[in-house]
Chain A
Amino acid sequence: MSYWAEKILKILMVTALCWSLSIAAEPLKIEITKGQYSRHPIAIAPFVWEGMGKRPTVDVASVITYDLKRTGVFAPIPQSDFLSDPTFGGNVRFKVWRTLGADSLVLGRIIPDAKKGLVIEFDVFDVFKGNLLGDFQISIPDRSQLRNASHYISDIVYQKITGKRGAFNTQMSYIKAGYDKNGSKKKLYELIIADSDGEFPQTVFGSYEPLMSPAWSPRHRKIAYVSFEGGKAQIYIQSVETGERKLVRRFKGINGAPSWSPDGKALALVLSKDGNPEVYLLNIASDELLRLTFSSGIDTEPVWTPDGRFIVFTSDRGGSPQLYKVPVTGGKVKRLTYEGRYNSRAVFSPEGRYMAFVHRDQSRNYRIAIQDTHTEEMRLISDGPLDESPSFSPNGDMVLYAAKGVKHMVLKTVGRNGLAETQIVKDGDYRQPSWAPFEKRER
């Protein structure tokens, strides 16, 4: 069984097993004060191990704490601040947790079960009101699934408290450059899929020529990317499950920057076959091509608005790279960015409200910016100096991007509010991360 089939089966097992949902309680409101977001203080107690043998190596509470902290929405209280060892079940001393400043509390335990493998029970409390928001039980076949289960618990806690779907039990893709294990001096480029926290990386394609710009299809089953194999740029679509690769109709010059339409039937891409880079739409089934841009400058990095009606792209037709939009049927081009002399590589939050992109600030640092499409207000959410390739989490609450580390590029996440910047991979040369959409499997 392939890694993916195995993984999917395990996820299904986790989700299929029972937990009691009680979504009666209202989601808490996150306070916004003075234009700054205040983080929601939460206490996540160590999950009590009720087995006879050795404790599992994966610390469930630590994984949940790390997950929630990275969102910029939560401020987990360090376990070292806890006043007593919390126990599972029995009366919760809300007053003690209030003294600590916690607004919410998660208590849990892990019980080995001869039939079910491991059973994890956990409760989510509203400390402020002093009541139970929900009690849950999930089972997993064995310890190897504890990390996945922890992300799954994070998702439930996130949903219970914010009212929004959590995006912890998700995946991402990225390109990693490095040298292969044979010790050769040739650079190896790998297309990798990993969990959203960077764990469990799996190479899905490797090449000694550059790979670029991986883009998930909306149904999370295929990745389009650019490959320079043979010394020429070409776009491939690769199935994640079978590994099967299909070459997209290729043209002379640049074949780059693929972006899926929301219905998965078309790709926006960049071709320079007519002399300079222009944005085209390609119908995947019919191979029909529609040219969308007409300028002597560079037109590139197309992305669909989530409603499928427009393409937003980077163009230096005005003298410096800025973002523009054009209807997918072609027509009048409208400029979207005016602040600064460098705004490029847009991406939209899944519900379409926010646009993230690369912005060069006045000190010439390249930083991730977010523009609210309602108010047109722009905010910088990363520090630079060489940040690039923003990608929203499928719930739109976080942004994944690449940043310059000590020498090479690393991957980071930050809350959409600009809080909790976190590096999620160790040293290496990581490029163009792309957060996978929620699983939407067709039957």
Chain B
Amino acid sequence: MRNVTILILILGSFALNGCGGGTKPGPAPVEEVGSSEEENGYSDQGGMSDENEDSKAQGAVGKPKFDYESREIGSVGYSLDPEALDDAESPLSQRIIYFEFDNSQMPEKYNDIVLGHSAFLLQNSDYKITIEGHTDEKGSREYNIGLGERRANSVKQVMELSGVAPEQLEVVSYGEEKLADSEPNEVAQAQNRRAVIVYSKK
């Protein structure tokens, strides 16, 4: 198996994203326009708790900024042969990326998973993926189509930066049209805020 060299990108740590240590101090957090006092103070009220923040997505004030820290690695440590796509044990079987309620930025903990998919696409140029963007049920449907696209694009961006050809990456946003779970509680709503990687042959 050919070794694949890829760049690892460490996402800039956003204040709201709650990134842990290990990365260099990131760029200044994206400023939230508007006051935040409203966000405090009401979060304890019943029903819809403070998870209710799908709308206040990052990037509204500009493209998300990345903090790059590149290091070279050898192989990802597992098979990148096409058969691996059907192997339930392969890390490539992990194709769902869940997002924080306050965020359209791909959470850092998915870096390895997504870079594995990048490595696969780099090695198998006859394959491509569609990244589906999804949101929870809150707010209006067409706005959520926009949010879903923003989420899918944040995954796409990471893969593009690792060298995957644009022809191998497609994005479609379903917003809240294909819910994973429609139960009216926060556990279900968190399941809905996701990007899904779907493979196909070119």
Contact = CB atoms under 8 A, between A and B. Distances in A.
Given A300-B142, A358-B139, A385 B149 contact: no
A67 interface: no
Nearest to B52: A364
B104 to A, nearest CB: 10
B56 to A, nearest CB: 6
A213 interface: yes
Contact of A213 (B38, B45, B142): B142
A317 B60 CA distance: 6
A250 to B, nearest CB: 13
B120 interface: no
A272 B153 CA distance: 11
Contact of A385 (B38, B47, B140, B178): B47
Interface stretch (A44-52, A144-152, A252-260, A415-423): A252-260
Given A296-B62, A320-B56, A362 B42 contact: yes
B131 to A, nearest CB: 12
Given A320-B34, A385-B48, A301 B142 contact: yes
A298 B143 contact: yes
A212 B45 CA distance: 32
Interface in B135-163: 137-143, 145-147, 149-150
B174 to A, nearest CB: 6
B145 A407 contact: no
A89 interface: no
Contacts of A231: 130, 172
B177 A228 contact: yes
Contacts of A342: 55, 139
B142 A318 contact: no
A321 B141 contact: no
A314 interface: yes
Interface in A206-241: 210, 212-213, 228, 231-233
A349 B198 CA distance: 42
Contacts of B171: 253
Contact of A301 (B33, B61, B140): B140
Interface in A301-321: 301, 314, 316-321
A364 B61 contact: no
Nearest to B31: A319
Given A213-B142, A296-B62, A320 B47 contact: no
Interface centre among B57, B142, B173, B178 (most CB of A within 10 A): B142
Contacts of B143: 298, 300-301, 314, 316, 321, 344-345
Interface of A: 187, 210, 212-213, 228, 231-233, 253-254, 256-257, 270, 272, 276-277, 296-298, 300-301, 314, 316-321, 340-342, 344-345, 358, 360, 362-366, 385-386, 388-389, 404, 407-408, 429, 431-432
Contact of A319 (B33, B146, B173): B33
B182 A318 contact: no
- Chain A CB within 10 Å, residue with most, of B56, B61, B63, B145: B145
Interface of B: 31-34, 38-39, 42, 45, 47-50, 52, 55-57, 59-63, 130, 137-143, 145-147, 149-150, 171-174, 177-178, 182-184
Given A360-B139, A385-B48, A272 B177 contact: no
B177 A362 contact: no
A363 B56 CA distance: 16
Given A232-B172, A253-B149, A318 B33 contact: yes
Contact of A257 (B130, B142, B184): B142
Given A277-B149, A363-B48, A344 B60 contact: no
Given A254-B145, A298-B150, A385-B47, 19 more contacts: A213-B142, A228-B172, A256-B142, A272-B146, A296-B60, A297-B59, A314-B142, A316-B55, A342-B139, A345-B142, A358-B139, A360-B55, A360-B139, A362-B38, A364-B47, A365-B47, A388-B140, A408-B182, A429-B182
Contacts of A321: 55, 139, 143
A270 B142 contact: yes
Contact of A297 (B31, B61, B139, B145): B61
A27 B61 CA distance: 52
A431 B175 CA distance: 13
Contact of A233 (B39, B45, B147, B172): B172
Which 5 A-B pairs give the minimum distances between C-beta atoms? A319-B33, A298-B146, A210-B177, A345-B140, A364-B52
A404 B138 CA distance: 10
Given A360-B55, A407-B182, A388 B139 contact: yes
Contact of B57 (A256, A316, A317): A316
A99 to B, nearest CB: 44
B142 A319 contact: no
23 contacts: A210-B177, A232-B172, A253-B171, A254-B173, A276-B146, A296-B61, A298-B147, A300-B146, A301-B142, A314-B140, A314-B142, A316-B55, A319-B31, A340-B38, A342-B139, A358-B140, A360-B139, A364-B49, A364-B52, A385-B48, A386-B137, A388-B139, A407-B184
Nearest to B41: A362
A254 B137 contact: no
A213 B137 CA distance: 15
Nearest to A270: B142
Contacts of A344: 139-140, 143
Contacts of A300: 142-143, 145-146
B42 A364 contact: yes
A256 B145 contact: yes
Contacts of A408: 182
B33 A210 contact: no
A192 to B, nearest CB: 16
